[in-house]
Amino acid sequence: MRSPDREQTERFEVASVDGTLLRGFSRAARGSSDARGEPETLVLLHGVAMDHRVWSESSFLDALPDDVHVVAPDLRGRGESDPGHSAEGHAIDRYVEDVRAVLGFFGRERYSLFGLYFGGRIALRVAEADRRVQRAFSFCAHGEAVEVPADAVEEEAKEIEGPGGYAYLRDHFSAAGAPAWMVSACDRVDQDELAAATRGLLHGSHQRAERGAADQDLVLITAEGDADLGTFREGSARLGARLWLVDSRTRVRAAARLAEVGTRTAELLTAAPAAMKGDA
């Protein structure tokens, strides 16, 4: 497992539209660039109960070649980024603004995004809103409309912010078969912020994503045994997206295969343009 804090890695800080300071790490590319003189730049968006460290802990980062510029922000309220404070501060539109602020900070003309769980839903929404996104990968999150029951959201938020919140999270993910790195990430979250982020699901997260541009390459990824596989197939057809299936019974268990998905992602990122469209 390579640490994200290698010699060529730098920390960054950028202000979002509402002034929230977002922090993360940037691993500089070594070597090749495109016709514009830019390296392939991949922005990594982690899930709800996580921070930027999951990319190294899961060995996903190991799979990415050194000629890819990697940018990994902490979502607001997670890791080293400033809090969102409220449910409204964790609305999906705020996350979209945050990611677009990160894109603007690095100044590339073209980006790829890889989102993990809720980060995948954010990636699809950013791709819809921002023409700089040429490619978006969504790991175990589809882009279709979803029902978000307010009572269930509030019940979970109260569990998270309660005195047994950390145990609740660990037990939940352990029982679902999550890998160790995913379970241990729960111990690093701020309970109040995670509860606010959970309530933030009621602010726009139910809406479906749309394709932002005809030439975008969208990739939906989920477990072969996913109970919602039909929804992923429908979304793949509607968005004109690739569908990658992971050898796993459930979406949570699929996280154990994240490094393998990283290898496949790296192959697509470094493929010649003519070969990319031929990869189903």
Give per-residue pLDDT as tens, 151-188.
Answer: 999 999 999 999 999 999 999 999 999 999 999 999 99
* Amino acid making up residue 104: G
- To the question of pTM greater than 0.85 for the whole model, the response is yes
Query: What's the total number of domains in the chain?
Result: 1
Angle, vertex CA 183, rays to CA 120 and CA 122, nearest 5: 15
Residue 227 belongs to some domain of the structure = yes
Given a cut of 70, is residue 3 above it in pLDDT? no
**pLDDT number for residue 252:** 97
Residue 31 belongs to some domain of the structure = yes
Given a cut of 80, is residue 273 above it in pLDDT? no
Given a cut of 50, is residue 6 above it in pLDDT? no
Mean pLDDT (whole number) for 270-274: 60
**pLDDT number for residue 276:** 40
CATH number assigned to the domain comprising residue 133: 3.40.50.1820
The model's confidence at residue 227, banded by pLDDT at 50, 70 and 90, is very high
Residue 197 belongs to some domain of the structure = no
Convert the pLDDT of each residue in 50-101 to its tens digit. 999 999 999 999 999 999 999 999 999 999 999 999 999 999 999 999 999 9
Strands (E) located in the chain: 9-15, 21-27, 40-45, 68-73, 111-116, 133-139, 217-223, 242-246
Chain CA centroid to CA 171, Å: 23
**Structural domain boundaries, residue 106:** 9-146+207-276
Residue 66 belongs to some domain of the structure = yes
**pLDDT number for residue 7:** 45
Residue 88 belongs to some domain of the structure = yes
**pLDDT number for residue 30:** 81
The model's confidence at residue 37, banded by pLDDT at 50, 70 and 90, is low
Residue 224 belongs to some domain of the structure = yes
**pLDDT number for residue 222:** 98
Q: Which residue has the higher pLDDT, 121 or 34?
A: 121
80-to-61, 74, 83, 149, 227 alpha-carbon distances in Å: 19, 6, 9, 30, 34
**pLDDT number for residue 278:** 39
Residue 42 belongs to some domain of the structure = yes
Given a cut of 80, is residue 280 above it in pLDDT? no
Convert the pLDDT of each residue in 191-210 to its tens digit. 999 999 999 999 999 999 99
Mean pLDDT (whole number) for 264-277: 71
The model's confidence at residue 36, banded by pLDDT at 50, 70 and 90, is low
Residue 115 belongs to some domain of the structure = yes
Given a cut of 90, is residue 211 above it in pLDDT? yes
- Across the strands, what pairs with 242? 219
